Amino acid sequence: VVFSPDLKELSDSSGLQFSGSLSQICGVFSIVVFSCIVNEGYINIGSERLLCVFNKNAHACNYGMTVGVACFLGSTCFLILDVYFPSMSNLKDRKRAVLFLWFVGFCFLANQWKATSPDELPLAQGSDAARAIITFCFFSILSWVFSQIKISLNKCMIIYSIYCLTVEDVCHLSPIVGDNSLPFSASKSM
């Protein structure tokens, strides 16, 4: 009996579902970063003007909000593209671009937080939010890296499964000559 693999079943296995859940996790991390900046990322110190908790650098808060929104929309789009177009080749490059944005955001925000003196934040206002933003930027990097590794492993496992099934098919088609109980080198010398 020759077994022919059904590639549709193989590609529709848990890999796509797991990639979808990773995309949802990345979206949640993006929402956390964005909402922390909007909610507690700005402080008001005796004036009408709001100052960013990251070393009073408005660019740091703006970049964090932009990356948070863009990555949320990106992870939603990637989830949809993964479902409808699983073999899209440019998708990997786009995910690397999002990973790069998170990495730059993590480095920039961590650097600005390090440069912030405790005297600039009365009663440590916004410090928990700043730490949460930096932490979830780091978690976003890990989740995007893990999604890239998972996608690569899924492709490797599909190729490996196809290769193994093909070798098994060939073994079923060709008869084995000789005594199966002896090792190959022993049967060759006889």
Give this prediction's pTM: 0.68
CATH fold of 14-165: Four Helix Bundle (Hemerythrin (Met), subunit A) (1.20.120)
Read off the pLDDT of residues 22-60 as tens digits, 9 standing for 90 and up.
778 888 899 999 999 999 888 887 777 888 889 889 999
d(CA 90, CA 156): 18
**64 contacts 126 by C-beta, under 8 angstroms:** no
Contacts 24+ apart (CB under 8 A), 41-44: 41/65, 41/126, 41/129, 41/130, 41/133, 42/126, 43/121, 43/122, 43/125, 43/126
Q: Is the pLDDT of residue 102 over 70?
A: yes
- The pLDDT assigned to 3 comes to 40
- The pLDDT assigned to 32 comes to 92
DSSP state of 46: S
Q: What is the largest CA-CA distance in the chain?
A: 96
d(CA 95, CA 158): 21
Over range 88-101, report the average pLDDT: 75
Q: Is the pLDDT of residue 158 over 80?
A: no
H or E element at residue 140: helix 127-173
3-state secondary structure of 101: helix
Read off the pLDDT of residues 128-151 as tens digits, 9 standing for 90 and up.
889 999 999 999 998 888 877 776
Q: Is the pLDDT of residue 163 over 60?
A: yes
Mean pLDDT of the chain: 75
Most confident of 1-15, 36-50, 118-132: 36-50
